[in-house]
Amino acid sequence: MEEKVYADVAGGLDQGRAAAWRALITSNALVLEKIERALAEAELPPLGWYDVLLELSGAPDGRLRMHELARAVVLSRSGLTRLVDRLEGAGLLRREPDPADRRGSYAAITEDGRATLRRMWPVYAAGIAGHFGEHLTDEEARVVAGALGRVAGAARSR
């Protein structure tokens, strides 16, 4: 089988790092597709909803300013606004005005949102375990978590 060739462009991307990147994005896409399908089969909302609800559930008073939520779930402002509109329409969160800044608002999780999060977790956890976790040893999981944590930290600080 022919080895894939990656151009050595500015930044000196070598074959090993290019292959690691491809493996990361390919496995991410495939595993997320399977988890999304499992959520749909269980008649549960999509994974993006889970991410928003999870961030809100862990926030003080169950709420975050919209720009904080956008940063936490890595969505654009417009993408988050549309998603929050759908979650609000489903009764899973509510928008609250920011008394200190009339231009700003908070997204706050509702009890229905918390209940939905609890219903989604077992399906999501089974997907993580079955499509990701069972293919890694404990040591590999530590290495992957450490390496990707460094990459995320560096990206956040730039």
pTM to 2 decimal places: 0.83
For domain 15-157, is the CATH number 3.30.420.10?
no
Question: What pLDDT sits at residue 143?
Answer: 96
Report pLDDT digits (tens) over 101-141.
888 899 999 999 999 999 999 999 999 999 999 999 999 99
The strand order across the sheet containing 93-98 reads 63-65, 101-109, 93-98
Q: Please state the domain extents for the chain.
A: 15-157
Q: Whose structure tokens read 């926030």? A: 59
